[in-house]
A and B are shown apart, each in its own frame.
Chain A
Amino acid sequence: MGASPARLVIALSVAAALAIFVVYTALAGNGVAQLTPSTIGTAKGNVLLVGKVVGPVQHVGGALRFAVKDIGDAKPARVSVSYAGSVPSLFRTGRDISVAGVMRNGRFAATRDSLITKCPDHYAPPASPKT
């Protein structure tokens, strides 16, 4: 296998793709901590809150107020969330959601338009094992 310029350019292209990936993940792709009401505590900075909506959902001005608890867990932790922006029509009490934002004075101030309801079919708990 002689050193053809074509091989070199292909190798360089692979290296470039890798470099883009490494630089991006180093600068911005570090991810956001994904926390549940029982683990969020006084987390600092932008985090992703994952949980189940517990009612009632209130409309205050243009914003929604609701509480969130751990999914599939009897833990007592609750976090109250205030959110503005687009609301998926699947959103309601009992749905599993994820929402981005920051903890401020014990409340979760959500980022605009960051609310996602988890699709109920795919996220149904696996059937309990039987004997």
Chain B
Amino acid sequence: MASLGRAALLIAFGLVAYALLAGSYAAWKKRRRLALSAQNALIAAFPATLVASAILLIALARHDFTFAYVAEHTSRNLPLPYTLSAFWGGQEGSLLLWLVILTGYAALAVWLNRRHRELMAWTVPVFGLIAVFFGFMLCFVSSPFHQQPAPADGAGMVPSLQNPYMLAHPPMLYLGYVGLAVPFAFAMGALLSGRTDERWIVATRRWTLAAWLFLGVGQLLGSHWAYVEIGWGGYYAWDPVENAAFMPWLVATAFLHSVMIQEKRGMLKVWNMVLVALAFNLSLFGTFLTRSGIINSVHSFSQSPIGAWFMGFLVLMIVFSVVLILWRSSGGGDGSLRTKTKLESLVSREATFLYNNLLLVALALTILWGVLYPVLSEAVRGQTRSVSKPYYDFFLHTFGLPLILLMGLGPLVAWRKASLRSLAKTFLIPFAVAVVTGGVLLGLGFGSSWVGLLAYTFSAFVAASIVLEFVRGRSAAGGIFKLVSRNRRRYGGYVVHAAVVLFVIGVAGSNSYQTIRENGHLRIGQSMEAAGYRFTYESIKGVKGPNYTGFRTVVSVVGNGERFDLTPGQNNDPLQGTSFVASIYHDPRTLGDVFTNASLDKAGTAIDLHIFVKPLINLIWAGGFLFVFGALVAMWPDAVEQRRLAARYAAGTAPAGI
């Protein structure tokens, strides 16, 4: 079994190495038949990797502890779904997951675009290059098929990984990380072949959207896991592994916007190349970060067995993309990235998209600086220092708030040059809505946080402008369904913007307007107040579990038109120590949550009650569903668009825009 897996991986490695070497030679010498064979080799690498993956899955399902990987990550009593999820629970398995997704994506993307021989000629070897790295790691450095004499039982899985979220969260993130390899390979292929028109963008638009959607959903699942499992109302802590997924998502967001300018106006060719290279390299970096753990120190690179290899490959890919972009942007000729069109006005769609790009990339780069800070400070000063929440919050506010505003402005400003008169007409209603909202909120006491107040005022502006767009469009198109199906991309985009507004409201509500009351010292019958709720300590009882003892209290809560009981308590495990058992109530009226924790005072006569009230936080999860819906609307195959593209590229056939 294991040897079959090793053989399958070796075959896959051979195939992608052939795709890289023969493909490059064929593209260089313009050998059509050789290029075709390289392309077929790349496609064939997918089933080979699939066989290796199936063998690992079967070994996991059979508890075959002769596989060192299976023995290290599972045990006999582990339920089947978690046993299978160990596929991505360890380093070797997650490298295999990367390769199987990569070869799968590459096979599909190359096959769909097989008619574009010139573009594919160099795209195939670029896919080959990426796959060669992961194939090499799996065959020679970090194999999932190491064998050993079977132990009686495996080492098992960390309990906190035995959670339904962990079945979906890592594969979603990987589908996103790896997905960014597709636009990257097409972009680099376009640079190498000199086919630097919009074809590579058209061909990969839906790939980028899909990767971006998966990254977003993966992060939301991770946030919700943290919120539900970690239990103190946090969903994002600026942890390096969280940032690892957030950075490529931000850059991909910028890319999704800036490609529209290139498609429409032929501008920003170099910039788009830079963005796609940055997004892919950040996703490689993110994979490395999640695999090797926090980068506290330069030493962690060398400690991890794959660290040095990953660093080397990352540097290679950065150099590769930078050199290619510089080469094509400096030279003249057919493949040049120089553009003839110029930005005509600062008040135009192009300009607002440019600002949006600037802010998104600035945010991503400041986060990157924060992530790398411990390593950089150690290298420069010899002392590890780190930045924390205030640093990230500052830049989230400075770059994020204008971004919200631009989200309302951008889609409504005309291309090329907008007149002030038309602007005033377009934005009169949204502006009025924003001012009124801001004024009302100020009156209601929301001025306690100016960030929150600004976020809400801007959100009102964006929401009003989106609603207005739908209202105007509907009367013109004669129905909301007709309107959306006529331009799915545009209206899908609006739905995603609406989802972002919900995120903003949820995040600002739960951060800027949360109420925290701690160490309320209560005896039975006593009560305290927080955020309009009255908490009364009613009773306490002991609990006994298989390996712990503890207590649960009953705290009755009345207020804001609601009445409910919470039961915070503690478990005392003689081996593991004391842990809090938080009790949470989802209040449908405020769309927020009420969290409580309790600890017993020394004498045992009173409890210390900790209360967190997080208004509007459930809008974040509601926004998640809307985000997925909007992205799907924008991605949905569109026959009209295909015909339009076919007409545009009359010389060739339209790129298969999947």
Q: Is the CB of A122 within 8 A of B241?
A: yes
Q: Does B89 sit within 8 A of A, measured CB to CB?
A: yes
Q: Does A42 sit within 8 A of B, measured CB to CB?
A: no
Q: Is the CB of B576 within 8 A of A129?
A: no
A55 CB contacts on chain B under 8 angstroms: 577
Q: Does A26 sit within 8 A of B, measured CB to CB?
A: no
1/0 per residue, CB under 8 A from A, across B229-249: the answer is 111111001010100000000
1/0 per residue, CB under 8 A from B, across A92-131: the answer is 1110000010000000000000001111111111110110
Main SS of chain B's interface residues? Answer: mixed
Task: Return the contact of B241 from the options A14, A119, A125 (Cβ within 8 A).
Answer: A119
Query: Which of A90, A118, A124, A126: most chain B Cβ within 10 A?
Result: A126
Q: Does B291 sit within 8 A of A, measured CB to CB?
A: yes
Q: Does B599 sit within 8 A of A, measured CB to CB?
A: yes
Q: Does B294 sit within 8 A of A, measured CB to CB?
A: yes
Docked Cα-Cα span, A85 to B519, in Å, equals 9
Q: A5-B346, A28-B390, A119-B241 are in contact. Are A126 and B89 (CB under 8 A)?
A: no
A20 CB contacts on chain B under 8 angstroms: 398
Q: Does B554 sit within 8 A of A, measured CB to CB?
A: no
Docked Cα-Cα span, A100 to B387, in Å, equals 11
1/0 per residue, CB under 8 A from A, across B603-640: the answer is 00000101010000000000000000000000000000
B573 CB contacts on chain A under 8 angstroms: 92
Q: Is the CB of A56 within 8 A of B577?
A: yes
Q: Is the CB of A121 within 8 A of B579?
A: no
Closest chain B residue to A66 by CB distance?
B577
Q: A24-B394, A117-B230, A119-B241 are in contact. Are A89 and B582 (CB under 8 A)?
A: yes
Q: Is the CB of B578 within 8 A of A92?
A: yes
**Interface segment, one of B182-190, B337-345, B434-442, B505-513:** B337-345
A14 CB contacts on chain B under 8 angstroms: 358
Q: Is the CB of A126 within 8 A of B293?
A: yes
Closest CB of chain B to A118's CB: distance in Å?
Answer: 7
| Residues in A46-71 with C-beta less than 8 Å from chain B | 48, 50, 53, 55-57, 59-62, 66
**Interface segment, one of B51-59, B112-120, B158-166, B423-431:** B158-166
Task: Return the contact of B158 from the options A28, A89, A124 (Cβ within 8 A).
Answer: A124
A91 CB contacts on chain B under 8 angstroms: 579-580
1/0 per residue, CB under 8 A from A, across B110-147: the answer is 00000000000000000000000000000000100010
A30 CB contacts on chain B under 8 angstroms: 385
Q: Does B560 sit within 8 A of A, measured CB to CB?
A: no
B597 CB contacts on chain A under 8 angstroms: 86-87
B158 CB contacts on chain A under 8 angstroms: 120-121, 124
Docked Cα-Cα span, A67 to B287, in Å, equals 33
Q: Is the CB of A88 within 8 A of B231?
A: yes
Q: Is the CB of B374 within 8 A of A6?
A: no
Q: Is the CB of A90 within 8 A of B385?
A: no
Closest chain A residue to B599 by CB distance?
A59
Q: A28-B391, A89-B582 are in contact. Are A6 and B343 (CB under 8 A)?
A: yes
1/0 per residue, CB under 8 A from A, across B209-233: the answer is 0000000000000000010011111
Task: Return the contact of A33 from the options B72, B296, B346, B383 (Cβ within 8 A).
Answer: B383
Closest CB of chain A to B278's CB: distance in Å?
Answer: 15
Q: Does B68 sit within 8 A of A, measured CB to CB?
A: yes
Q: Does B21 sit within 8 A of A, measured CB to CB?
A: no
Q: Is the CB of B518 within 8 A of A62?
A: yes
Q: Does B200 sit within 8 A of A, measured CB to CB?
A: no
Task: Return the contact of A94 from the options B359, B362, B516, B576 (Cβ within 8 A).
Answer: B576
Docked Cα-Cα span, A40 to B373, in Å, equals 19
Q: Does B581 sit within 8 A of A, measured CB to CB?
A: yes
| Residues in B255-311 with C-beta less than 8 Å from chain A | 290-294, 296, 303-306
Q: Does B384 sit within 8 A of A, measured CB to CB?
A: yes
Docked Cα-Cα span, A56 to B575, in Å, equals 9
Docked Cα-Cα span, A15 to B346, in Å, equals 17
Docked Cα-Cα span, A10 to B304, in Å, equals 42
Closest chain B residue to A115 by CB distance?
B232
Docked Cα-Cα span, A35 to B146, in Å, equals 37
Q: Does B366 sit within 8 A of A, measured CB to CB?
A: yes
Closest CB of chain B to A29's CB: distance in Å?
Answer: 5
B398 CB contacts on chain A under 8 angstroms: 20
Number of interface residues of B (CB under 8 A): 80
Q: Is the CB of B291 within 8 A of A126?
A: yes
A60 CB contacts on chain B under 8 angstroms: 602
Task: Return the contact of A123 from the options B146, B294, B600 (Cβ within 8 A).
Answer: B294
Q: A10-B354, A94-B576 are in contact. Are A86 and B160 (CB under 8 A)?
A: no
Q: A62-B519, A89-B579, A92-B579 are in contact. Are A34 and B296 (CB under 8 A)?
A: yes
Q: Is the CB of A90 within 8 A of B293?
A: no
Q: Does B355 sit within 8 A of A, measured CB to CB?
A: yes
A66 CB contacts on chain B under 8 angstroms: 577
Closest CB of chain B to A120's CB: distance in Å?
Answer: 5
B602 CB contacts on chain A under 8 angstroms: 59-61
Q: A34-B296, A86-B610, A90-B230 are in contact. Are A120 and B160 (CB under 8 A)?
A: yes
Closest CB of chain A to B242's CB: distance in Å?
Answer: 9
Docked Cα-Cα span, A56 to B578, in Å, equals 8
Closest CB of chain A to B461's CB: distance in Å?
Answer: 21
Task: Return the contact of A127 from the options B72, B377, B516 (Cβ within 8 A).
Answer: B72
Q: Does B526 sit within 8 A of A, measured CB to CB?
A: no
Closest chain A residue to B388 by CB distance?
A32
Q: Does B66 sit within 8 A of A, measured CB to CB?
A: no
Q: Is the CB of B374 within 8 A of A127?
A: no
Q: Does B13 sit within 8 A of A, measured CB to CB?
A: no
Q: Does A9 sit within 8 A of B, measured CB to CB?
A: yes
A122 CB contacts on chain B under 8 angstroms: 241, 290, 293-294
Task: Return the contact of A130 from the options B146, B294, B359 (Cβ within 8 A).
Answer: B146
B529 CB contacts on chain A under 8 angstroms: none
Q: Does B92 sit within 8 A of A, measured CB to CB?
A: yes
Q: Is the CB of B385 within 8 A of A34?
A: yes
Q: Is the CB of A87 within 8 A of B232?
A: yes
Docked Cα-Cα span, A129 to B384, in Å, equals 27
Docked Cα-Cα span, A93 to B573, in Å, equals 10
Closest chain B residue to A96 by CB distance?
B294
Question: What are some 27 contacts across the A-B interface (CB < 8 A)?
Answer: A4-B343, A6-B342, A6-B351, A9-B346, A17-B359, A17-B399, A31-B386, A32-B385, A33-B383, A34-B296, A34-B386, A53-B577, A59-B578, A66-B577, A86-B610, A87-B232, A87-B580, A87-B597, A93-B577, A116-B237, A119-B241, A122-B241, A122-B290, A122-B293, A126-B291, A126-B304, A127-B92
Q: Give 13 new A-B contacts, CB below 8 A, not counting A35-B384, A92-B577, A127-B90.
A: A6-B346, A13-B355, A21-B395, A25-B369, A28-B394, A30-B385, A56-B577, A61-B602, A86-B610, A88-B232, A89-B229, A90-B160, A92-B579
Q: Which 8 A-B pairs have the closest CB atoms?
A: A89-B231, A31-B385, A62-B519, A93-B577, A6-B343, A129-B305, A57-B577, A17-B362
